[in-house]
Every structure is written in C-alpha cells, then in structure tokens.
Amino acid sequence: MIFSPPLPPNSRICLARNSELPTSIYNTGSMNIFSHSITAAQLHGCVAIGNFDGVHLGHAVMLTELRTLAAEQGTQAVAVTFDPHPITVLRPEFTPPILTTVEDRIELLRAAGADSVIVLPVTKSLLEMTAEQFFQAVILETFHAQGVVEGPNFRFGRDRKGDTAMLQGFCDRASLPCRIVRPVEVNGQLISSSRIRELLCSRALRQAVELLGHPYRMTGVVRRGAGRGATIGFPTANLAEVATLLPAHGVYGGQTMLDGKCYPVAVSIGPNPTFGEHREKVECHIDGFSGDLYDKVLQVDLLSEIRPLQSFDSIERLVEQIREDVATTRRLQPRFVSGG
C-alpha cells in the first residue's frame, strides 16, 4: 500500500499549505507580537479572527459575510487563525482536543471563502494585550484591516474582556466597517466546536458531520499491528499519532484518497474485545486497496458511525459482521464523494 503524498490540487483531501509565511516579530511600541510575516496581498484586507477549530457551518457563514464585505470594500477576504489554541498557553491542562490540524484548517478556510489565511502564533505577549491594544496593534497596525467580521461569541484581549460590543465601538471610532454574524443552528442545535466535540465523544459522528458541513478527518501514521486482519480477509492500516480528537470507541464509515482514487474505509476505534485486547487502536480497512502503507501518512475522512464495539463468540461471526460494516461503508460514499 503506497500512499501518494501529492494529491490532486482540486481534491478536498489535498492539504493547502501556506509556505510563504515565515516567522517574524512585529514591534508595536512596548509590545512584541510574534506573528507570521504577511505578504502585500494579505495587507489591507477585511479580516475574520478566531480559532476556527473544525471550520464548521457557523464559521462558513462568517466567511460568506467576510467575502461580501471584502467585495464591497474592493479588497481581500483574510481569515486569521491562532496556533496553538490560546488556552494551551494560559492553562495547558484545560486545552481541548483539536478538531482540525493547522494544515486542514487552512484548506477548509480557503474552501469556505477566504482568499488568504494567516496563522497567528499564540504567545504570552499576545495574550497579555488588553482588548484595545489587540485592536490597535494587531487589527490596525499589523493587518491594516479594511473591515472586520466576527461571530457573536468573539472575545479578545487579556482575560477575554473584549466582546463584540467593544469591538464594534473600536471599529466605529476607527471608521472601520464591522459586522457581527448571528448564531447558526442546524435542526435546533447551536453550532460550536464544543458541541461538535461532545457529539464525537458520544459516537454521534453523523450529527457532528452535519454541523461541520464536511467529513471529520483523522490524520496519522500507519504502524505495524498484530496482522490479524489479513488472516481473516480484512487487512487493516493501524493509524497512530493522530493529533485530532478521536471519536468514541466504535466502528465508523469513511473514505480516503490514495493514488488519486477515493476508497471506502471501515474504521474501528478502541480495543479489540473479541481477542481480549484492551489497548486503544485505530484500525482502518481500506476497501479495494492493497499494498504497503507502513510508516506513511494516511488521511481518513469519517462520514458516519456504524455500530458500537462488541465482542463476538467466534471468528466466523466477527468476519460476517465486518462484511456488513464494509457494505454499510460503501453505501455512504455517493453522498460525499461528489463534493470532493
């Protein structure tokens, strides 16, 4: 199984990396802001600033409004995201597991409408700024923003004291257009990264995907496992070093792109109770693909939960259930592949 790193540029699976953003320091009076250097095209744009973890449908509404405002101002739509999450610097023990890697976040923000994405490294100096200092030093003096779009729960500045009302006031005084989007709901559910984490942790992956507006991606490195799958006709790629939140233990259906082709993937997350194993694993059966993936990076886009984990009283019964799981996974594909 040879994993093909350079995927087609129009593929949703393809990572969009912003290689022209080397690290530099902006000096603003007594404050030093560690940021990525910004190209001329990224200056004087309309900006939306946030963690954007998951880049869900609520974020997509923000990006749509950002594009609208940027068009009115005759400039670029620029999304500004943080890395790492600010709480990682302030209270690392309370850091929430991430939903998207920085690379995927960049790709998804661009797909949602951003002309450019800037990654703002989070430092103590940045977090010690007051709300007014952040507005002046970052939004005005660093980005030279021509407009601002934010969500209803946007907070900024030391101790999160800046809110949307304060932002609106700052923008009014600077004669800067400012738009605050309304909360977004799907089927009565308020969309937020926290809500999506809750759904993933309760094995409600299909609901999480509905709030995301795209499949939930896991990226990891394929490592050697026990090799049992191959002996029963269902070889698996054992995914390790996954940086994003693992959904609750269970069996899921997904897809992956290899050598330019999309394959259904049946994924088991958790221990293997049939064989008396208790160690958590991520085992991926890539339907219709054979080869060597060991030590290669593999991206799997999860689409829906299939069933909880269970112990079977015989290998024959396990194989029968895996066949059903793979058949279920195949049926998921048409709903999503057309958008990839």
Q: Which burial class, exposed, middle or buried, applies to 208 when counting CB atoms under 10 A from its CB (0-12, 13-18, 19+)?
A: buried
- 276-296: average pLDDT: 91
Provide the mean pLDDT of the chain. Answer: 87
Q: In the numeric block, which tokens belong to residue 124?
A: 């103590």
Residue 225 pLDDT: 83
Q: Which residues pair with 13 in a beta bridge?
A: none
Domains of the chain by start residue, with CATH = 23-183 (3.40.50.620), 215-337 (2.40.30.30)
Extract the runs of DSSP E, i.e. beta strands, from the chain: 23-28, 31-36, 46-50, 77-83, 116-121, 147-150, 178-180, 185-186, 189-190, 216-223, 237-240, 250-258, 261-270, 281-286, 297-307
Q: Do strands 116-121 and 31-36 pair parallel, antiparallel, or not at all (unpaired)?
A: unpaired
284 phi/psi in degrees, rounded to 5: -120, 115
Q: Which burial class, exposed, middle or buried, applies to 339 when counting CB atoms under 10 A from its CB (0-12, 13-18, 19+)?
A: exposed
* Local confidence band at 44 (pLDDT 50, 70, 90 cut-offs): very high
Residue 165 pLDDT: 98
Q: Which burial class, exposed, middle or buried, applies to 104 when counting CB atoms under 10 A from its CB (0-12, 13-18, 19+)?
A: buried
Rounded alpha-carbon distances, angstroms, from residue 255 to 20, 233, 301 = 31, 19, 5
**pLDDT tens per residue across span 54-113:** 999 999 999 999 999 999 999 999 999 999 988 899 899 999 999 999 999 999 999 999
**pLDDT tens per residue across span 162-181:** 999 999 999 999 999 999 99
- 326-337: average pLDDT: 78
Q: Which conformational region is residue 157 in: left (phi greater than 0), alpha (psi within -120 to 50 degrees), or beta?
A: left
* Local confidence band at 8 (pLDDT 50, 70, 90 cut-offs): very low
- 299-320: average pLDDT: 95
Q: Are 269 and 284 in contact (CB under 8 A)?
A: no
- For the chain, the residue count is 340
* Local confidence band at 37 (pLDDT 50, 70, 90 cut-offs): low
Q: Which conformational region is residue 54 in: left (phi greater than 0), alpha (psi within -120 to 50 degrees), or beta?
A: left
**pLDDT tens per residue across span 128-175:** 999 999 999 999 999 999 999 999 999 999 999 999 999 999 999 999
278 phi/psi in degrees, rounded to 5: -120, -5
Q: Which residues pair with 83 in a beta bridge?
A: 121
